[in-house]
Amino acid sequence: MAQRKQITWTELRVGLFVLAGLVLLAVAVFYVTGVNWGPKYSLKTYLPEVADLQVGAPVSLDGVMVGNVQKLSINPHPVNRMQNIQIDMRIDKRYQSLIRTDSQASLVTEGLLGNRYVNISRGSGQVVQNQGMIPGKAGNDMQEIMERGVELEANLGQLTQQVGDIIGAVRKGQGTIGKFIYDPSMYNHMNATVAKAESIINGVQSGQGSIGKLVVSDDLYNKVDATAGHAEAIFSDIQAQKGTLGKLVYDPAVYDQTKQFLSNSNALLAGVRNGKGTLGKLVTDETVFTNLRDASANVRDVTAKLNNGQGSLGKLFTDPQLYNNMTGLTGDMRLMIGDFRRDPKRFLHVKLSIF
């Protein structure tokens, strides 16, 4: 008896776990599908046709999902064509205040060829109560599709005409593509270019020209090889510390002399900065600057006096009398030299007397 009770309790636990899993699965399915667990109320409407509308299809309020289609049935006694099909809908009660007596229900297609669903427009009349009815409105999906088809056909026709015009222009040899296809000059140019290229290649293969020499002749290779050999010999001599460059690279005496030269240069610069020697005095002592400044001032004063005609030198630069006298003297000397050349005895009269 004790073993029978334990088996029953195990089976009960398994059943409870399976039931809990089914409940969680159902909740997950309803959550994923967007099913609302809130209170609902019923509405109905009439439409002339409901092609491709399925039971359970969404019902939206201006695009927002508020319920689903509960039942589709044929109205046995329609007053007119608009009441051919009766549609029963279950609507979330939260949206009841937004659906009024002047609201309208119509069929809408998702995209161009998608599923169909019911869309309700908001109104401003009185609130529709449970089991109430809202008027239906014939959908214009097919009309829109036909209009789009007509517009697409017109666009395709216009595009076809434009393509035909382009092809006709190409056949007439117009434009770049037409010239390329029908004008033989392009072929002739390309043929001439290919012929020239072939001639150049043949010349290169036969060793003509610089490129031909470079491709066919071994002279450049031999020269490069010889140059590489000479360079290798030079590097070997450098590594062997031969020549000036080898001494410069490997002999530490150059480094020591350079270091000593830099040290002496630093000491010399330090002495100059400290005012030692003639160069130091010239760099740091302001006496030279003062003397140069005074000399410049004196030169400026002398130049000013010369410009003003002061003193003998000033008169010499500014007074035109000296220039005039020199000009007159030059003229007299020229006349006297002329007379001397004509009659030298006149000026060379020698008198000898004996005592």
Checking if the pLDDT of 130 tops 60, the result is yes
Checking if the pLDDT of 205 tops 80, the result is no
Q: For residue 162, how many other CB atoms are within 10 A of its CB?
A: 10
**Strand 105-109 with 85-92, pairing:** unpaired
Average pLDDT of the residues in 33-47:
77
pLDDT for the residue 290: 81
Task: Dump pLDDT digits (tens) for 177-203.
Answer: 777 777 777 777 787 888 888 888 887
Give pairs for 250-258: CB < 8 Å, separation 24+: none
Task: Dump pLDDT digits (tens) for 231-245.
Answer: 888 888 777 877 777
Backbone angles phi, psi at 34, to 5 degrees: 80, 20
- pLDDT band for position 355 (50/70/90)? very low
Pair of tokens at residue 178: 């037409």
What average pLDDT does the structure give for the chain?
Answer: 78
Residue, of 168 and 97, whose pLDDT is higher? 97
Query: Percent of the chain beyond pLDDT 90?
Result: 14
pLDDT for the residue 2: 47
Asked whether 267 and 256 are in contact (CB, 8 A), the reply is no
Q: 131 by DSSP, 3-state: which?
A: coil
pLDDT for the residue 35: 53
Closest by Cα among 264, 280, 263, 261 to 272: 280
* Across 78-92, 96-110, 175-189, least confident range: 175-189
pLDDT for the residue 1: 43
Checking if the pLDDT of 90 tops 90, the result is yes
Alpha carbon distance 215, 206 (integer Å): 9
Q: 34 by DSSP, 3-state: which?
A: coil
- List 89's β-bridge partners, or say none: 43, 69
Helix axes 219-239, 243-250, angle to 10 degrees: 50
pLDDT for the residue 144: 58
Task: Dump pLDDT digits (tens) for 143-171.
Answer: 555 556 667 778 888 888 888 888 877 77
